Structure 1
Amino acid sequence: MGRATAVNGVLDVPVIDISAWAGGTAADRDRIAAEVDRAARTVGFMQIAGHGVPDAAVDAFAAAQDAFFGLPMAEKKALRAPSPDVNRGYTPPRTERLSLSLGVPAAAEDLFEAFNVGAEAAAFPGLGLPEEHYPANIWPPVPGFRDAVEEWCRRAGGLARRLTGIFAHALGLAPDHFTPFTDHSLDVLRMNHYALPERELVIDRDQMGMGAHTDYGIVTVLWADRVPGLQILDTEGRWHDVRPEPGCLLVNLGDLLARWTNDRWLSTLHRVLPPADATGRVGRRRSAAFFHDGNWDAEISCLPGCAPAGAEPLYPPTTVGRHLAEKLGGSRAGKLNANSPREAARLLAARTEGR
């Protein structure tokens, strides 16, 4: 897991058009899978074009976020989850430190505020899924918000599942290889907003918009506006800016896919700087990450052929639920995660790099 490869100081996040995946030829599918494999090996991020998400859904989703985050703070705080263990509802600014998910202390709490929704147990009748892993959502009384957000989840989730089919092809697996691991996936949508109240316009140098971390699950579909902030760590310990290309959705791989592939594919360290100008005055930035994380009870172990002959895999088997609990215990509950030593070492080695 960890860091992308820069060539001559330039980090390339490739644009991959997947529009020909469903109706194209075998050669089209081979080409798309090869492009995905190359991006997964070298950077862990890609810009997905031809995703099929209509502009109207994007616009409605962005408007819904604006309406929610524009509410008074007291109304937003009333929508907090009953405990940090429940990954739903509102998160106020400066209540999380994402670097703790790697076991690395942060100098200050992260700046962002967020709102989470996700897969509920009721969506999978007959499976008896545990409520602690599939809690009920908390919906704000904002007209049109739920409809726009649920439509976005449907669109982003469809893209994530399409991508897992492409991943299977790229890894030489059966087309439906990942289905038994994802048919009741712990999908979560996190909507993020970076801004400060008018009375609090300047931030400290050590303040992060969102601290350095890897994503926890299989694959993340990211919508973001084009305000600078998102950065990716390369193999030399340098941070590189990344912004979505017009018409594209950013996609990055998570820890579980890195574990499956024995780090053949990268779960890349990334962070978000506060959207501030040279004087430290903070502006506004929006993003939304759809995390396709897999079934809570799915066991993740090295895929055939991904570990060298005679060598032990880099990671012991784990379950999706256990891995997510360790990560979320860091970011949401403030407990240092002791089970990410390799990622922690990479982040600590990069801390001498300038912002």
Structure 2
Amino acid sequence: MSQKILLVSRKGIMTSSLQSPLEADLPVIDISQFPQKIEGDHLQHHPEVVKLGKACEEWGIFRLVNHGVPQDLLQNVLSVSKDLMSMPMEVKDRVTTSDPPKSYMRKPGIPIPFETFCFLDIPNPDSILEMSRKIWPEEGNLKFCEAIGAFSSYLSDLAQRIIKLILVSLGLDAESFYHSDFEKCKALLRINGYSSHGKSNGEEALIAHADRGCLTILRNDEEEGLQVRSKEGKWINIKPSPHSLIVNLGICFNAWSNDRYMCAVHRVICKGWENRLSVPLFLSFADDAQIAAPDTLLNKDNPRRFKPFIFSELQSELRKEFEKL
């Protein structure tokens, strides 16, 4: 494989066909098997770490269980998110700004209408409070702020632990590489809504793509529709599981691992629902960060596969790719 700035060299990363999907479940990782503080590399032979490494290598996506996020909080997040999405359009438009990462956005012109609320600098509660006061000017909706604030805090802590465990699975010192390469990563929480508007089952609500950052932690509602593409190119239906979270690796971690770990190509299709909701947290590098596989992961059999690149360059190139669709 020649060196490239982008990982769009994987055939069809942003395209897809509508062949009949397979039924299978994702690898399941029990994070309660590990201590709260992940240090060094002494856990690399732990059975759950070995399983994690295989999941990242073969799938780039896995199901996280016993994650510590209270079940009532998971339900509250969906409840307040549905309340937010049900607000009149003119009210939601109050949140639209010139800065998309801190804004409400809607795309009515695509095949399936899509809208999203973006919260940058998570888990900073100020960004959540600022947005809620624009939607609910009188009181700012304390229930919404508490649920989204607590959820983003839990997910931010989980993201840090997961990154460290993945580093251990690569045989690396978790603390050292986390501080040198991942400590300055930023978190973005989004509340996404999809409306089928009478579209047929099997039509795409979200086109096939890979997330651009390091990893994504996803809380879905109970509606089906999420699919992931296997290493062999087959689409797999991901069944809803209200007690678990979905974690997938993005393009940047695929590059940082020198293509050892996959970035999960996924999409959402209509499955008989009128509206569908998801609440993902994205962990990404800073705009000016350089992404390059460390020398520790390189050898004569595994030379550097992709040129080092700046994260903002990746975002710019991906925007160009999407504009061509």
Indicate the TM-score class for this superposition, using the shorter chain for normalisation: 0.7 to 0.9
State which drifts further: 9-18 or 61-70. Answer: 9-18
Deviations 1:37-76 (A, max 9, x none): 0100111111111211111321221121011001011111
Deviations 1:271-321 (A, max 9, x none): 001243xxxxx4222111100112333221123353451664221101233
State the alpha-carbon separation in 1 of the partners of residues 107 and 144 from structure 2. Answer: 21
Corresponding residue for residue 37 of structure 1: 53
State the alpha-carbon separation in 1 of the partners of residues 309 and 51 from structure 2. Answer: 29
Question: Equivalent pairs: percent with the same residue?
Answer: 23
Corresponding residue for residue 204 of structure 2: 208
* Residues 124-273 of structure 1 aligned to structure 2 (within 5 Å): 138-139=131-132, 140-141=135-136, 143=141, 144-176=143-175, 177-195=177-195, 201-203=197-199, 208-273=204-269
State the alpha-carbon separation in 2 of the partners of residues 238 and 111 from structure 1. Answer: 26
1:73–1:16: structure 2 CA closer, same or farther, 3 Å change rule? same
Tell me whether 1:63 sits opposite 2:79 in the alignment.
Answer: yes
Q: Which amino acid aligns with 2:113?
A: L
- TM-superposed CA distance for 1:91, in Å, is 1.8
State TM-score, norm by structure 2.
Answer: 0.80
Corresponding residue for residue 75 of structure 1: 91
1:237–1:162: structure 2 CA closer, same or farther, 3 Å change rule? same
Tell me whether 1:21 sits opposite 2:21 in the alignment.
Answer: no
Deviations 1:232-251 (A, max 9, x none): 11234321111243421111
State which drifts further: 70-79 or 238-247. Answer: 238-247
- TM-superposed CA distance for 1:165, in Å, is 1.1
State the alpha-carbon separation in 2 of the partners of residues 218 and 184 from structure 1. Answer: 12
- TM-superposed CA distance for 1:336, in Å, is 4.2
Corresponding residue for residue 53 of structure 1: 69
1:57–1:36: structure 2 CA closer, same or farther, 3 Å change rule? same
SS in 2 for 1:59: helix
Deviations 1:127-165 (A, max 9, x none): xxxxxxx9x964432513223212111111110001011
Deviations 1:196-244 (A, max 9, x none): 5xxxx42268952111110111111000023111111123432111124
The structure that is helix-richer by fraction is: 2
Corresponding residue for residue 323 of structure 1: 314
Instruction: Say how many residue pairs are matched.
Output: 295
Consecutive unaligned residues of structure 1, counting only runs of 5 or more, are: 96-107, 124-133, 277-281, 338-355
Corresponding residue for residue 3 of structure 2: none
Q: Which amino acid aligns with 1:150?
A: G
Corresponding residue for residue 113 of structure 1: 115
Question: Residues 253 and 266 of structure 1 are in contact (CA less than 8 Å); yes or no, is this contact kept in structure 2?
Answer: yes
- TM-superposed CA distance for 1:192, in Å, is 1.1
State the alpha-carbon separation in 1 of the partners of residues 216 and 27 from structure 2. Answer: 16
Consecutive unaligned residues of structure 2, counting only runs of 5 or more, are: 1-6, 14-21
The structure that is strand-richer by fraction is: 2
1:157–1:227: structure 2 CA closer, same or farther, 3 Å change rule? same
SS in 1 for 2:84: helix
State the alpha-carbon separation in 1 of the partners of residues 313 and 130 from structure 2. Answer: 21
Question: Residues 212 and 315 of structure 2 are in contact (CA less than 8 Å); yes or no, is this contact kept in structure 1?
Answer: yes
Deviations 1:253-273 (A, max 9, x none): 111110011211010211001
1:60–1:10: structure 2 CA closer, same or farther, 3 Å change rule? closer
State TM-score, norm by structure 1.
Answer: 0.74
Question: Residues 115 and 192 of structure 2 are in contact (CA less than 8 Å); yes or no, is this contact kept in structure 1?
Answer: yes
